[in-house]
Chain A
Amino acid sequence: MRVKIGSLEMKNPVTVASGTFGYGPEYADYIDLDRLGAVTVKGISVEPHVGNQTPRTFETASGMLNAIGLPGPGAQGFIDKYIPFFAEYSVPLIVNIWGKTVEDYGAVTEILGSQERVGALEVNVSCPNVKEGGALYGTNVDLFRTVVDEVRAKTETPIIIKLAPNVADIKRFAKAAEECGADGLAVMNSYPAMAIDIETRKPELANRTGGLSGPAIKPIAVKLVWEAAQAVDIPIIGMGGIYTPEDALEFIVAGATGVAVGTANFTDPSSALRVIDGIETWLAEHHVRSVNDLVGTVRA
């Protein structure tokens, strides 16, 4: 079940999607965090950030919209408040980082990349819900490169670039990340989307638009993982609507080395553990020795 993302070793391929699992302690009463391949925490920027106004989420058919807007305690706040919590656990810690400027990305990388407890940085260049940075860096390949270059220059810690789904050709971004020295890719962020109350004629989210997640986006995510995997040799963490072991295996066959369980954590906090157990059972039943042997085995 072991997989590697750069020098980050995960004892199984399953992590949780940033933003669906808080900073770690929130779900510790419900599941043993050490059973996860890694914990990926909510996005952290250099300075504390207040995020969007409410309403911030809205349930849709087989999915949900969110426009939380990356509220957070800032890099130092995260270190003070949450790094001590993880001292009691051995699970690798992936910290999602974001910035409003290229300099911001560099600064947060310097602070968090030097933390011994941080196993990898997941670089969010694709948040659909913050005006500055965010999606802009994720959809313009030149700006995208400047961010990845900056982050790479500031740390030896593995960096995983989280790609935006709403681009004409995800292969260009995947390739660019690899060329800039990324250790892995996370595919995909939530898909820009909208819902409107027809009676009030107002958008359901205060931010008006948000990101769609959940089973509704799974086929989109599988396709993007499949495309990205053909373009690069670095490992991919696949995500988007994973609820079951079969969902996760589909991503792995499409080309993902790791997978992240996201919205399913809200539905059932034990979703990620069920996915881990189910993958293990499936591999045994199908006489597959290592999950790595299954990666990208989709047939033409």
Chain B
Amino acid sequence: MNQEKTTVLEHRVFQGDYRLLRVAAPIIGPQVKPGQFVHLRVPRLEQAVLRRPFSVFKADEEGLSILYATVGMGTEVLNSVESGEVIDLMGPLGTGFPTLGKDKTLPVLVAGGYGNAALYLQAKNLPIKGGAFFGGRTAQDILCVGEFEALGWDVRVTTDDGSLGTKGLVTAALDPWLAEQDLDAVELFSCGPNPMLKAVGDRALEKGFTAWLSMDRNMACGVGACLTCVIKRKTEAGWEWARCCKDGPVFNAEEILWED
């Protein structure tokens, strides 16, 4: 965990509404593990007291990149950042994805929209490449299919409007596929909107396979101090708060107590 002044190397439209931001981060970059995030101070946004958390897309010895969509004031201002500008980063933060369990032979990725950016390093590192299920609203929201295929993943795409792949939610493709697998061998890694994560988590509990979910919550400090980003984690006595920024963002689906 470090704080580093990073220099923007590349910032461009990646696809549709999504942008790629790559920075030189020789201290943080080499430390990033799959599923971890960085906490970024948006330049020229002095009236904002909080940083903005982003999952790391790619990372290496020189630096790291993030994929983001413009969702609010922070990302709007981030759009204007240019190559050569300096961005203050904290990271890598959080507890990411575990390595493949010893008894598991079929890793599965499930992502909603640009959630698959948070799965890329995991996809790269996993010793076995299995199925990858990417869902989105439209074809515009399906990113990086070629990159995951190049790593050896069998990518299946769904879109809400049928503009790419199978029409429907990601579970429309996942369910029939899972029905034909040995579920004891399945270990699933997922990132995306909360309803999708819950749907994946429900299936894991119901069918008995292992699933790791990267949970997204509004965050303030990013280091476990402020207790903003808490979710309910099951305990023997009931539940306790767990911090997405420190104990997560990745949790085993069986730990999570979902709220309506």
A-to-B contact residues, CB < 8 Å: 19-22, 26-27, 29-30, 42, 50-51, 54-59, 61-64, 66, 68, 71, 214-215, 263-270
If A22-B223, A26-B225, A56-B227 touch, does A268 touch B88 (CB 8 Å cutoff)?
yes
Q: For the complex formed, measure the closest distance between the CB of A36 and the CB atoms of chain B, giving whole angstroms.
A: 14
- Residues on the B chain within 8 Å of A64, using CB: 49-50, 220
Return the CB mask of B217-241 against A: 1 if under 8 Å, else 0. Answer: 1101111111110110000000001
For B223, list chain A residues within 8 Å (CB): 22, 26-27, 29-30, 269
Q: Which range holds the interface residue count of chain B? A: 20 to 34
Write out, one digit per residue, whether chain B residues 232-252 have a CB within 8 A of any chain A CB (1) or not (0). Answer: 000000000100001000000
- Knowing that A56-B228, A268-B3 touch, tell me 4 more A-B residue pairs with CB under 8 angstroms: A266-B222, A267-B51, A268-B88, A270-B3
Task: Please report the C-alpha to C-alpha distance between residue A20 and residue B41 in the assembled complex, in whole angstroms.
Answer: 17
Q: A30 near B3 (CB under 8 angstroms)?
A: yes
In the complex formed, the residue of A with least CB distance to B241 is A71
A26 adjacent to B221 (CB under 8 Å): yes
The distance in angstroms between the C-alpha atoms of A263 and B224, with both chains bound, is 14
Indicate whether A59 sits within 8 Å of B48 (C-beta atoms), given known contacts A26-B221, A71-B241.
yes
Are A30 and B49 within 8 A (Cβ)? no
Contacts of B90 in A (CB 8 A): 30, 269
B1 & A57 in contact (Cβ 8 Å cutoff): no
The complex places the Cα of A55 from the Cα of B221 at a distance, in Å, of 14
Residue among B3, B217, B222, B231 having the largest count of chain A Cβ atoms under 10 Å: B3
Contacts of A42 in B (CB 8 A): 225
Known: A51-B241, A54-B217. A265 touches B49 (CB 8 A): no
Bound-state Cα–Cα, A207 to B51, Å: 23
Tell me how far the C-beta of A202 lies from the nearest C-beta in chain B, rounded to whole angstroms: 15
Q: Complex formed: what's the CA distance from A68 to B225 in Å?
A: 11
**Is B181 part of the contact surface with A, judged by Cβ < 8 Å?**
no
Q: Nearest Cβ in chain A — how far from B210, in angstroms?
A: 26
Partner of A68, one of B51, B217, B228, B246: B228
- Say whether B41 contacts A268, CB under 8 Å: yes
Distance between B226 CB and nearest chain A CB, rounded to angstroms:
7
